[in-house]
Amino acid sequence: KNEVEQSPQNLTAQEGEFITINCSYSVGISALHWLQQHPGGGIVSLFMLSSGKKKHGRLIATINIQEKHSSLHITASHPRDSAVYICAALFGNEKLTFGTGTRLTIIP
Amino acid sequence: NAGVTQTPKFQVLKTGQSMTLQCAQDMNHNSMYWYRQDPGMGLRLIYYSASEGTTDKGEVPNGYNVSRLNKREFSLRLESAAPSQTSVYFCASTGWGLDPDEQYFGPGTRLTVT
């Protein structure tokens, strides 16, 4: 069965801390997405990756295909990073399977 | 470009009423999706359409119908709403060229069925 698990479910940190959110999946995938859902509900795509590492500003996403694991890192976290972060895996077809999300709260 | 648009943003229905959620995208994407999001659960696929004229069931299709009117529009219909369909509904689209592409999401429709 195609499954995606995220950890932690909730994460609270102080402004400036380095944040790591983890995602593991059950079988081989074509691609993995990281999404951000703002408190207002909108969902935006942060990264899509199938190997290695991608960086956008303070956000870094990595994937280890052999270990079936991906991480999303946020450097120098800021209260505006507070959101729900969702990973989603593409298991070879056109449909994504989503994790349940990590709720991140950054305290000033 | 407006991206993916959805209407309405909010809706309250009584049990047994029907309604259609509208979705449109202006990115010339082939694939469109309808998801529902419930507390404590990941986004779950209701239906998707890989191209104009085709639709397929996702993980939770019961109680819903869809229509891919043209390449731009993909509607979701609740024929007889039930309280279990209270949820936030998201439409999404993606290009699917030679390689996997990002999914672009609409702003969501918050539906309450009483």
Whether B99 shows a pLDDT value over 70: the answer reads no
C-alpha to C-alpha distance for A33 and B65, rounded to whole angstroms: 27
User: How large a percentage of chain A has pLDDT more than 70?
Assistant: 100
Higher-confidence residue of B111 and A41: namely B111
Task: State whether residue A41 sits within 8 Å of chain B by CB.
Answer: yes
Q: Note whether A75 and B12 are within 8 A (CB).
A: no
Query: Which of A42, A95, A100 lies nearest to residue B45, judging by beta carbons?
Result: A95
- pLDDT digits over A11-27, tens only? 999 999 999 999 999 88
In this structure, the strands spanning A10-14 and A102-107 are parallel
Nearest CA in chain A to B110: A41
Whether A2 shows a pLDDT value over 90: the answer reads no
Cβ-in-10-Å burial (0-12, 13-18, 19+) of B65 comes to middle
Whether A99 shows a pLDDT value over 70: the answer reads yes
- Which one-letter amino acid corresponds to residue B1? N
C-alpha to C-alpha distance for A18 and A39, rounded to whole angstroms: 21
Amino acid B100: pLDDT: 65
CB atoms under 10 Å from CB of A78, counted, come to 12
- pLDDT digits over B40-95, tens only? 888 999 999 999 989 999 999 999 999 998 999 999 999 999 999 999 999 999 88
How many alpha carbons fall within 13 Å on the CB side of residue B55?
Answer: 19
- pLDDT digits over A48-87, tens only? 998 999 999 999 999 999 999 999 999 999 999 999 999 9
Question: In Å, how far is A13's CA from the nearest CA of chain B?
Answer: 21
Question: In Å, how far is A48's CA from the nearest CA of chain B?
Answer: 6
Q: Note whether B80 and B18 are within 8 A (CB).
A: yes
Question: In Å, how far is B1's CA from the nearest CA of chain A?
Answer: 15
Residues of A in contact with B104 (CB under 8 A): 45
